Chains A and B, each alone.
Chain A
Amino acid sequence: MSSRRELWLSLVAVMAITGLYSGVSLRLGVPEARGLFGHSLGILGFALMIATETLYSIRKRATRRVPGRMSDWLQFHIFTGIVGPYMVFLHSAWAYRGLAGIVLLMTGIVVASGFVGRYIYTAVPRTADGLVLEAEAIEQALRQAEEDLREAQGDGAGVSGPALGTGASLVLGRGLLDLREQLRTWLTGWRLDRETRRQAGRTAIAQRRLRDLRRQLASLATARRLLAVWHTVHIPLGMALFVAAFAHAVAAFYYATLLR
C-alpha cells in the first residue's frame, strides 16, 4: 500500500471530486465551464498541473536541503498529476471543441504518458532518496538476497528463478511477469497447511526480492535508455500542453471575464 500511496490518495481525491461534481450536476445541471463551480475546477486543476510540472523538478535540482524525501515529492508529483488533469477534464463540461478541446486531449495524453513514465521509472533501482543504484551495488544486494533465500528455504536448495526475458520486455513486461508469479505463489500456497504456507510466504518474498534484483541488474541499461526516450517524448508534450492551456486561459479571461 505504502509503495502506491499516491495512487490510492489520488483515487480518493478523484472519487470525492466526482461525488461533488455529481451532486452539483443533479441539483443545478451540468456545471458550465464558465460557471463558478466549473471555472473553479478549471483554475484549481490547472494550478495543480503547474505544480506537477514544476515542484518536483525544482526539488530534484535543489542544492540546499529541502524538507521531504525525494520519493515523497515524487508521490506528490503523481498525486497532483492525476487530480489536476481530472479537474480540468470536469471543467470541460463535456464539450470538446476548439482550443479547449485540444487542451483537454493533450492533457489526457500527458497523463497517460506520465503513467508510462512512472512504470519505467520504477524499473530503475533507487535509494529512498531517489538516487540511482549502480550495477555494483545491485550485485551486492543480489548476493545478500540469494543468502536470504537459502536461509528462508532452509534446505540449501538452489536459488534459480523463472526466465526474466530480454531487452525492453525486461522493463515493460515485468508487471505481467510479476502478476503471473504472484498467481502461481497463491495457487501453490492455497493447498498447504498453515505453518507450511507461512514458511512458503517468507520464501516467496525472498524469491521476489531476488527476482527483482536480477531483473534490475539485467535491465539496468535498458531501463535507463527507455527512461531517456520517455523524457524526450513527455517533456515536449507537457510544454505544448501548458502553452495551449495558457492560451486557452487568456482567451477565456479576455472574452468571458472582460466581456470582449
Chain B
Amino acid sequence: MRRPLGCMTATGLLAAVITAVTVVGAAAFSGNAIFSPGDLNGTVGQTPRGGVRSHAELAQDCSRCHVPAWSGERMGDRCLDCHGDVRTEMEERASLHFGFAHPGNCRDCHTEHQGPEASLTRADMTGFPHDRVGFSLRTHPPVGEGGTFLCTDCHHAGLQSFDAASCRECHQLLDAAYLSDHVSVFGDGCMACHDGLDRYGRDFDHQLAAFPLMGKHATLNCGSCHAGATTVLALQQTPAACVDCHAKDDVHERRLGLACGECHNPGTWQEATFEHERSGFVLTGGHLLADCQACHVDRKWHGIPTECTDCHAQDDPHGGQFEVSCGNCHLTTRWSELTFDHAKSRFPLSGAHRPTACAACHAGGKYVGTPRECVACHRDDDKHAGELGSDCAACHRATRWDDVTFDHNKSAFPLVGSHQQVACSACHAGGHYRGTPTSCVGCHREEDKHGGQYGTDCAACHRVTQWSDATFDHNRSRFPLTGAHRSTACSQCHGGGTFQGTPRACVGCHAEPGVHAGRFGTSCGDCHSTSGWLPAGYNGPHSFPMNHGGAGSSCSTCHPSSLTSFTCTNCHEHSAEKMQDKHKEISGFSMGSCLNCHPGGRKDED
C-alpha cells in the first residue's frame, strides 16, 4: 500500500477542516468582510446615494456592491444603481463618461478599499481616453503620461466640470493680444472649435490647412474670412473659392469665369500671370509680343478662333494654294522662319537641290503641283537627248551630273577586265548608249588576228584582260598536244597564223624520211611516239605472230637483213633439200613462199 503524502496526517486533515470551517464561518459572520482588502472610502457626498453619503457607511454590507455569482449582475451595475448621474453621462455626448465607460470597466479608473482618505479615482488617470469627452490631451499631455499638465490645471472645480475660462487664463499668458483678438472674432467658447488634437492659436499653421494663406491673405484678420464661425466645422467650411469673397472685384464681369487664381495671384490683382496655354492656344514667337487686343478685339476673351488663317488670311503670299495650316511650315516668330521640312515632302531635297533657290523649282511662288520628275526641270540639261528616257536619277545623283550611279554590271554588258579601264566613249562613241553592240567583234573586229577564221566569239579563247591571255585548251581540240608537241612553238604547226585546217596526220608536218621511203607508209605513230623518233617500236598490225618461236620483240630474229624482208630458215631446219622433198607434192612450193601456206607459222596450216 502506497503511503499518503506527509501532509495527509490526521492532525493535518483535522487542521484543514477546522480552518475551512473557520473561514466559512467568519465569512458568513462578517458578511464576507474577511475578504476585504481595505477600508472603504470615507468621502461624504452632498446628497445621499443608495441611502448612504459615503462608501464607508456601507461598512460590513459587502453585498451592496458585490453581487452574488448567480445574480447575472456585475459589480459595475451596482455602482450605477447609486451613481445614476454617471449612467446618464454614459449616454450624453461630450460628457465625462460618454463613449467608453460601461459597467464592466469602472475599475479602469476608479478604485476602492484603499482607506477612507484615498481617492476613488486612480491618481495617474493613465489610459483615460480624454478625447472621448471631446478634447484630446495630445497637446496638453498629463503628468501621468510624461507631460506637465495636472488634471486640476484645467478642472479647477472638479474633474467632472470644466470652464473655458481656464483656457484663457493660460493662453492669455502666452499671447494676450492674439487671444483678445481671437476671442473678439470667435467668441470665448474655446471648446466649440478646439478639440485638443491640433494647436490652433499661436502655433497654428494655416499653411498646413486646406487653404494656405498667401499674399495679402496672410495679412488679413481671421474674421475677414471666418467672421461668425464659432465651430471647427464652420471654420473648415469657410468658402475657399475666390469668387466667394471677390465677386465684387471681378472687372471681367465673369466673362473669364470664376477661377481668378488661374491668372491672378493672392498678392495683387494687377500682376496677372495668365497662362495662355490653358486656353488651348499657346502664345509663342510674335504672338507673345502682340498686344492682347490684337486678337481679343474689344476685350473679347472667349470664342477667339485659333486657326492661323483666321487672323492671317491677308498675309498669305501663297494665294491660298496650301490647304494645310500656316504653322505646318512657318514659325510664329517671323514668316521667314520656316519649319517646312522638304525632306518630309514627297520630294526630299538632296545634293545640288538643297542650295538651289526655291524659286528655281517653284517659279512664281507656286508650290502645289510642282512636278517631281527630273526631266520636268532638267530636260534642257539632258546630254542624251532623251535617248535614255526621263528618269535621270536612274544613273545620276542629285549632286552633279557627272556623279553617276549607273552600274554597268547590272546592264546587259557587265564590265570586266580591261573593259573597266576603257573610257566610256571608246565603246559609246558619240555619246550613244542605246544599241551599243555586246559581241566582241562589235568593237574588236579590226583587231582580229585570225582574220575571222574563228568566228566572232573571241571570248571562247581570250580573256578580257588582254589578247594574249588566251584560254584555248589544245587538249580539248581534235589534236591534243602530247610529248614533244607540248613544247613546240605554235607557229611550227600553225605557220602564218593559220589555225583552222591545220593537218592532224604526222606527215602533215613530218615528211617521210629517206630510210623509210616507200617501206612503212605514213602511219608514223605505228612505230614512233610523240616523245621522240627513237626509240621506235612496231605497234601496228603484223600478219605473222610476232612472238613466233619465242622471238619476242627482237625483229632481227626473222628480219636479219631488213625490216622489209624475212627468213624462216634461220630457225627451222628448213633446208631447201628437205623442204622440197617434204613439199614435193605441193604445187607452187618455193622456199620463199612459206607464208602462203603457213600464215600463222603453224605446221598444220595447209
Interface positions of A (Cβ within 8 A of B):
33-34, 53-54, 57-58, 60-61, 63, 95, 97-100, 231-232, 235-240, 242-244, 247-248, 251-252, 254-255, 258-260
Complex: how many Å from CA A244 to CA B11? 16
Complex: how many Å from CA A99 to CA B20? 12
CB distance from A170 to the nearest CB of B (A): 25
Most buried by B among A61, A231, A236: A236
CB pair A61–B5 under 8 Å, yes or no, is: yes
Q: Does B74 count as interface, using CB distance less than 8 angstroms?
A: yes
Q: Does B499 count as interface, using CB distance less than 8 angstroms?
A: no
CB pair A254–B38 under 8 Å, yes or no, is: no
CB pair A248–B35 under 8 Å, yes or no, is: yes
CB pair A259–B14 under 8 Å, yes or no, is: no
CB distance from A90 to the nearest CB of B (A): 15
CB pair A240–B18 under 8 Å, yes or no, is: yes
Complex: how many Å from CA A99 to CA B35? 6
User: Within the complex, which residue of A235, A239, A251, A259 is in contact with B19, where a contact is CB–CB below 8 Å?
Assistant: A239
CB pair A259–B7 under 8 Å, yes or no, is: no
User: Within the complex, which residue of B11, B37, B74, B76 is in contact with A98, where a contact is CB–CB below 8 Å?
Assistant: B37
User: Within the complex, which residue of A57, A237, A247, A259 is in contact with B20, where a contact is CB–CB below 8 Å?
Assistant: A247
List 8 additional contacts besides A99-B26, A260-B69; criterion CB under 8 Å. A57-B5, A57-B7, A97-B37, A98-B34, A239-B7, A239-B15, A240-B18, A255-B66
Complex: how many Å from CA A243 to CA B17? 8
CB pair B12–A236 under 8 Å, yes or no, is: yes
Q: Does B345 count as interface, using CB distance less than 8 angstroms?
A: no
CB pair B38–A255 under 8 Å, yes or no, is: no
CB pair B34–A259 under 8 Å, yes or no, is: no
Q: Chain A residue with minimal CB distance to B115?
A: A95
CB pair A235–B37 under 8 Å, yes or no, is: no
CB pair A97–B38 under 8 Å, yes or no, is: yes
Q: Does B36 count as interface, using CB distance less than 8 angstroms?
A: yes
Contacts of A232 in B (CB 8 A): 11
Complex: how many Å from CA A76 to CA B75? 42
Q: Does B346 count as interface, using CB distance less than 8 angstroms?
A: no
What DSSP secondary structure best describes chain A's contact surface? helix
CB pair A235–B66 under 8 Å, yes or no, is: no
CB pair A60–B6 under 8 Å, yes or no, is: yes
Contacts of B3 in A (CB 8 A): 61
CB distance from A31 to the nearest CB of B (A): 14
Contacts of B38 in A (CB 8 A): 95, 97
- If the complex has contacts A99-B23, A235-B7, are A63 and B35 also in contact, measured as CB distance less than 8 A? no
CB distance from B520 to the nearest CB of A (A): 138
Interface positions of B (Cβ within 8 A of A):
2-7, 9, 11-16, 18-20, 23, 26, 32-38, 66-69, 74-76, 104, 107
CB pair A260–B7 under 8 Å, yes or no, is: no
Contacts of B12 in A (CB 8 A): 235-236, 238-239
Contacts of A260 in B (CB 8 A): 66-69, 74-75
Complex: how many Å from CA A163 to CA B107? 67
- If the complex has contacts A260-B68, A260-B69, are A99 and B6 also in contact, measured as CB distance less than 8 A? no
- If the complex has contacts A243-B16, A243-B23, are A259 and B104 also in contact, measured as CB distance less than 8 A? yes
User: Within the complex, which residue of B6, B16, B66 is in contact with A242, where a contact is CB–CB below 8 Å?
Assistant: B16
- A sample of 27 cross-chain residue pairs with beta-carbon separation below 8 angstroms, ordered by A number, consists of A33-B37, A54-B5, A57-B7, A61-B2, A61-B5, A98-B34, A98-B36, A100-B37, A231-B6, A232-B11, A235-B6, A235-B9, A238-B7, A238-B12, A239-B16, A239-B19, A240-B16, A242-B16, A247-B23, A248-B35, A251-B32, A251-B35, A255-B75, A259-B75, A259-B107, A260-B66, A260-B75
Complex: how many Å from CA A63 to CA B1? 11
CB distance from A33 to the nearest CB of B (A): 7
Complex: how many Å from CA A255 to CA B7? 30
Contacts of A63 in B (CB 8 A): 2
Q: Chain B residue with minimal CB distance to A247?
A: B23
9 cross-chain pairs, A with B, having the tightest CB-CB distances, nearest first: A236-B15, A251-B35, A240-B19, A243-B19, A239-B16, A57-B6, A235-B12, A239-B12, A99-B34
- If the complex has contacts A97-B36, A98-B33, A260-B66, are A239 and B13 also in contact, measured as CB distance less than 8 A? yes
Complex: how many Å from CA A254 to CA B35? 10
Contacts of B69 in A (CB 8 A): 254, 258, 260
Complex: how many Å from CA A259 to CA B77? 10
CB pair B74–A259 under 8 Å, yes or no, is: yes
Contacts of B36 in A (CB 8 A): 97-98
CB pair B23–A235 under 8 Å, yes or no, is: no
Contacts of A247 in B (CB 8 A): 20, 23
Contacts of B6 in A (CB 8 A): 57, 60-61, 231, 235
Complex: how many Å from CA A238 to CA B4? 16
Complex: how many Å from CA A236 to CA B18? 10
Complex: how many Å from CA A39 to CA B258? 70
Complex: how many Å from CA A239 to CA B16? 5
Q: Chain B residue with minimal CB distance to A248?
A: B35
CB pair B20–A243 under 8 Å, yes or no, is: yes
CB distance from B298 to the nearest CB of A (A): 83
Complex: how many Å from CA A58 to CA B74? 42
Contacts of B68 in A (CB 8 A): 260
Contacts of A98 in B (CB 8 A): 33-37
